[in-house]
Structure 1
Amino acid sequence: MLDEKKNKGEPMPYLANINVRWGEFDLDSLREMRFEPNELERYGLKCGDIVMCEGGEPGRCAIWKDERPGMMIQKALHRIRPKDELDYRFLYYSLLYKGRNDGFSGLFTGSTIKHLPGQNLAKVEVAYPSLVEQQRIAATLSAYDDLIENNRRRIKLLEESARLLYREWFVHLRFPGHEHVKVTDGVPEGWEQKPVPDVIALNPTERIERGKEAWYVPMSALSENGMTVNRGDFERRTEHTTVKFRRKDVLLARITPCLENGKTGFVYFLDDDEVACGSTEFIVMREKEVSAYYTYCLARTYDFREHAIKSMIGSSGRQRVQVAAFAEYAVLVPPASLMKEFNESVEPMFVQIATLERHTEKLGKARDLLLPRLMSGEVMV
């Protein structure tokens, strides 16, 4: 029986429900559990297996491509391994289409929290053409996904580069010319140490005209690992929340467990004169004495997040960070010339990330438009 607390078997990484996204896996927050020899076949993954969520968002699925050898799954996931007459990619796209278009809803159990039990999943029927035709369809759709995955890898590398430069200059103090600068009590000569509210505007006041349609950004749109957001979760609303923001603001989750999980975003998706609203569980951080890029990188640092987490108050399960807590956290403010040099170094990275993300969104929309037409035979390849 699978149990994180058991002491038999070898520790191995495993996928949980939260690690499975639509069409991809989040491998940055993996946990380990002991698996005994008799459990390896039942819960082990092979390249080409389809992994599907049983609960949470039933039907959410992705293809395992052996990103990490020796990966296992927990009981809350379904492992789907097609027979020889089915191309695994074709089956995946068939299931993906059903999952995104309520094709499984009649098989769900539970009134409040929906589940897709294995015995009900086994009732799903999939129409399929010849194996050759399946492979053609899958290859066409996979070409879009390959481009999307390549963009995501590039986005991840760009953000890692920007955050690494921030840590080198402003955490480890290995900034250009550091060899010739005296450091006293952790503060380089010519620098200042100031509380966060002195250098970053927190929850700045904004206004959207009453009744005007504007974007609403929910908590679900924020990533736990990077600056990009899921625009598919956005809504157009004429009733606005009190949390409003502009381009280049930083959105920080203030409630548990979203803060601990890392939900933070950079607002690259608005026009220069556009104001949007969002979840009331966001703290908006706006550049003031330090730049927007510095602000985002700061919000991703371990020390900053630990301070926020430790200052949370409220009842268990609904704890929140209070903006006042940031007055007790000091940041290093470099000379204007060094801040300018940092901005000039990382701004192209942020711009490229935004460009790649827009391209990725277009590719996803094009694939999603083509998917049902290929599956129905309306479009032949």
Structure 2
Amino acid sequence: MSWQSIRFGDAYAEASRNGVYKPKEFHGAGAKIVNMGELFRYDFIAGQEMARLQMSDSELSKSGLCDGDLLFGRRSLVDEGAGKCSLVANVTEPTTFESSLIRVRVRQDVFDPRFLFYWFKSPGGRGRIRAIVSGVNVKGIRGSDLQNIEVVLPDLPTQQRIAGILSAYDDLIENNRRRIGLLEQAARLLYREWFVHFRFPGHETTKFVDGLPEGWSRPKLGEICSTNKKSHKAGKLPTRLRYIDIGSVSTGRIDHSTEMSAEEAPGRARRIAEDGDTIWSNVRPNLRAYALVTAPRPEDVFSTGFTILHAETVSPYFLYLAVTTDDFVKHLENHATGVGYPAVRADDFERALVIKPTDAVMAKFHELCQPIFSQRQQLFDQNAQLSRARDLLLPRLMDGRIPV
């Protein structure tokens, strides 16, 4: 099998393009727009829900996305965002991308964009990206540097076979994610049925007082859970740790962690989360970067960029579902401060009003949710195993050690 080195720019079908920026009045309707949040969350950009932007036909012809396009993070507040690569696949409606991203469109008669996506995920590809990252507070790459990266690749048929092997793992992972989504939807429907529509077991004979079932209350969130309950003291981090930053979390899941030594850990690596805690990114709550923590390891350390919610007098499943409803997200959005990166604080969570049922109803709800979230976790574990297997193959396929 013959491999060759090429300048990445020589694979371009057209010049790379930075994304679009428009004032606030153009936002809210129109074409979908891929933001940094989607780039963080998804390796494959398809039919996900995202923000919208008014675009003319001529603007979309210049800055629209097509299947096979590669998107790179142009600038980011966190290290892993700069140069992060995602592949556009199966877009179902007009879609564009924001100014913090770079679009690369390759010649698909010679280059398989799936192969290039996986190459940029490989150790060699990531190393080439790190070499062109610059900046202190805001990390970034330039399109002029990106096009000069040296890419090592085989002929097109071999690219396609390698991409096919790796895609098989990602297809299984995506199928499990859909199943996880259905399980979470079932739990949310149960929550809405019991605690929004008040159709819980025994509701037919329950007396209502001031709009709530008798014995229920409407406390502040801080009365039923604690926030940021545990943290590592300065200089007391585990010798080796798995760091979870806000960029490591997407809607409903922890996507990855970064292994490092205590000496390498950033100052914001301080928080401790326990089994059943809910973590919520304080920055840009509209991105819904939250997750339910299950079976954390002793070496897991979370960023101070999270608010960590620990259930005290309610089920952890109830707490997770209560603080991830559309109404609760809207509460956080309304209390976020800051223009460029609107953020909330722990007390914004604590003063939100929630509904608390009787202990008997809470216990029954927990009993019904437990198998749902247990199966959900099993699927997360399967995906972790699939990801490890894929990542074990990835560098060996990308340097030709495994012939295909």
- TM-score, with structure 1 as normaliser: 0.82
* Corresponding position of 2:114: 89
Report the counterpart of residue 37 of structure 2 in structure 1. Answer: 18
Describe the SS at the equivalent of 1:194.
coil
Supply the distance in 2 between the matched residues of 1:141 and 1:267 (Cα, whole angstroms).
28
Aligned identity (percent) is: 29
CA-CA distance at 1:143 after TM superposition: 0.8
Q: 2:336, 2:37 → 1: CA distance?
A: 24
Q: Distance in 1 between matches of 2:257 and 2:193?
A: 35
List per-residue Cα deviations over 1:198-225 (Å, max 9, x = no partner): 4324444688996755756443255342
Which string of whole-angstrom CA distances, capped at 9 and with x for unpartnered residues, describes residues 29-78 of structure 1? 62333333333332222222222223323332222112332222345321
Structure 1: how far apart are the matches of 2:117 and 2:336? 42
Distance 1:36 1:93, change over 3 A: same
Q: CA deviation at 1:331?
A: 3.1
**Secondary structure in 1 aligned to 2:152?**
coil
The whole-number CA distance in structure 1 between the counterparts of 2:130 and 2:300 is 33
| Counterpart amino acid of residue 23 in structure 1 | D
**Cα RMSD for the two superposed structures:** 3.6
CA deviation digits over 1:6-44, x for unaligned, max 9? 87xx93222233322362348666233333333333222
The answer to whether residue 364 in structure 2 is matched with residue 364 in structure 1 is no
Q: Aligned pair in 2 of structure 1 residues 319, 38: CA closer, same or farther (>3 Å)?
A: closer
**Distance in 2 of aligned mates of 1:225 and 1:121:** 29
CA contact (8 A) 2:222 2:349 kept: no
* Alpha-carbon distance between aligned partners in 1 of 2:270 and 2:136, rounded to the nearest angstrom: 32
Structure 1 counterpart of 2:273, which letter? F
CA distance, structure 1, for counterparts of residue 201 and residue 212 of structure 2: 15
Indicate if the aligned counterparts of 2:64 and 2:96 stay in contact, CA closer than 8 A.
Answer: yes
Correspondence for 2:251:
225
Q: How does 1:247-266 map to 2 (within 5 A)?
A: 247-253=275-281, 255=282, 257-266=283-292
Deviation at 1:310, TM superposition (A): 5.0
Amino acid at match of 2:401: E
Does structure 1 residue 353 correspond to structure 2 residue 371?
no
Separation in structure 2 between the aligned mates of residue 234 and residue 67 of structure 1, nearest angstrom: 34
Separation (CA, whole Å) in 2 of partners of 1:162 and 1:212: 35
Q: Label 1:368 to 1:191 Cα distance change in 2 as closer, same or farther (>3 A).
A: same
Letter in 2 for 1:155: I
**3-state SS of 1:72 partner:** strand
Q: 2:363 aligns with which of 318, 321, 340?
A: 340
> Where do residues 324-339 of structure 1 align in structure 2 (5 Å cutoff)?
326=350, 328-339=351-362
Aligned to 2:127, the other structure's residue is in SS state: coil
Secondary structure of 2:53's match? strand
Q: In the TM superposition, what is the alpha-carbon distance from 1:296 to its structure 2 partner?
A: 0.9
1:199 counterpart residue number: 224
Residue identity in the other structure for 1:278: F
Q: Which runs of 5+ in 1 are unaligned?
A: none
Q: CA deviation at 1:96?
A: 2.9
Change (3 A) 1:211 1:152: closer
1: CA distance, partners of 2:340 / 2:132: 34
Equivalent residues in 2 for 1:1-381, closer than 5 Å: 2-5=20-23, 11-21=30-40, 23-25=43-45, 30-56=50-76, 57-75=81-99, 76-97=101-122, 101-108=126-133, 110=135, 113-204=138-229, 213=239, 215=241, 217-220=243-246, 223-226=249-252, 228-233=253-258, 235=260, 237=262, 243-253=271-281, 255=282, 257-270=283-296, 274=298, 277-308=301-332, 310=334, 320-323=344-347, 326=350, 328-381=351-404
User: Secondary structure at 2:291's aligned position in 1?
Assistant: strand
Change (3 A) 1:20 1:322: closer
1:325-380 CA deviation, whole Å, 9 max, x = no partner?
Answer: 73x54433223332222112211222222222222122222212211211211101
In structure 1, how many angstroms separate the alpha carbons of the residues matched to 2:270 and 2:396? 42
Q: In structure 1, give the amino acid aligned to 2:292.
A: F
Letter of the structure 2 residue corresponding to residue 17 of structure 1:
M
| Matched-pair contact (CA < 8 Å) for 2:307–2:346 | no
Q: Relative CO higher for 1 or 2, CA cutoff 8 Å, sep ≥ 6?
A: 2
Letter in 2 for 1:137: I
Give SS of 1:284's match: strand
Aligned residue identity for 1:286: H
AA aligned opposite 1:4: K
Residues 178/214 of structure 1: CA separation in 2 closer, same or farther (3 Å cut): farther
* Cα distance in 1 for residues equivalent to 2:284 and 2:108: 40
CA distance in 2, matches of 1:204, 1:193: 23
Find the aligned partners of 2:167 and 2:348 in 1 and give their Cα distance. 49
Alpha carbons of structure 1 residues 53 and 213: separation in structure 2 relative to 1, 3 Å: closer
* Closer/same/farther in 2, CA of residues 353 and 55 from structure 1, 3 Å limit: same
Number of residue-to-residue matches in the alignment:
373
How far off is 1:138 after superposition?
1.2
Maintained 8 Å contact 2:219/2:356: yes
Separation in 1 of the partners of 2:105 and 2:339? 41
| 1:222-269 deviations in Å (ceiling 9; x for gaps) | 53421x21332365649997643321122234x4x3445333322203
Change (3 A) 1:20 1:27: farther
Q: Give 2:10's aligned residue.
A: none
